[in-house]
Amino acid sequence: MPRSSSSPARVPVEERLFSLVLALLATENGLTKNEILSTVQGYRQRYEAHGDNSSLERQFERDKDDIRELGVPLETVESPEAAGNNQLLRYRIPKGAYDLPQDVVFSPEEITLLGLAATVWREGSLSGESRRALMKLRSLGVEADEPVVGYAPRLRARESAFDPLSQALERHAIVQFPYLKPGESASRVRTVAPLALVQHQGRWHLQGIDQEAGGSRTFLLSRMVGPVKVTNRTFVPEGDDFAERALEDLERIWAANVAEIEVTAGTDAATRLRKRYGDAVPAEHPGGAFRLTVNFSDINILADQLAAFGPEVLVLSPEELRGKVVDRLIAVAEAHERPAPGAGEGRGRG
Mean pLDDT within 35-50: 85
Between 223 and 110, the more confident residue is: 223
Q: What is the pLDDT of residues 145-202, one digit of tens each?
A: 444 443 344 444 457 888 899 889 889 999 999 999 887 778 999 999 999 988 888 7
Residue 10 pLDDT exceeds 70: no
Is the Cβ–Cβ distance between 198 and 243 less than 8 Å?
A: yes
Model confidence pTM above 0.85? no
Mean pLDDT within 44-69: 86
**Strands of the sheet with 215-220, listed across from one edge:** 215-220, 203-210, 188-200, 173-179, 229-234
The hierarchical CATH code for the domain 257-337 is 3.30.70
**pLDDT computed for residue 127 by the predictor:** 47
**pLDDT computed for residue 316 by the predictor:** 93
Mean pLDDT within 132-142: 49
Rg, the chain, Cα only: 24
**pLDDT computed for residue 220 by the predictor:** 93
Highest mean pLDDT among 186-200, 235-249, 267-281: 186-200
Handedness of CA 317, 319, 324, 330 (dihedral sign): positive
Topology, domain 162-240: SH3 type barrels. (2.30.30)
Q: What is the pLDDT of residues 294-335, one digit of tens each?
A: 889 899 989 998 999 999 999 999 999 999 999 999 988 888
**pLDDT computed for residue 41 by the predictor:** 81
Q: Which residues are registered as beta bridge partners of 203?
A: 200
Domain ranges across the chain: 13-150, 162-240, 257-337
CA-to-CA dists, residue 153 to 49, 122, 201, 264, angstroms = 31, 9, 23, 37
d(CA 243, CA 197): 7
Residue 343 pLDDT exceeds 60: no
**pLDDT computed for residue 318 by the predictor:** 95
Confidence of residue 1 (pLDDT cuts 50, 70, 90): very low
Burial 86-111 (b: 16+ CB within 10 A, else e): eebbbbbbeeeeeeeeeeeeeeeeee
Whole-number mean pLDDT of the chain? 77
Residue 22 pLDDT exceeds 50: yes
**pLDDT computed for residue 140 by the predictor:** 46
Q: Which residues are registered as beta bridge partners of 229?
A: 176
How is residue 42 annotated by DSSP?
T
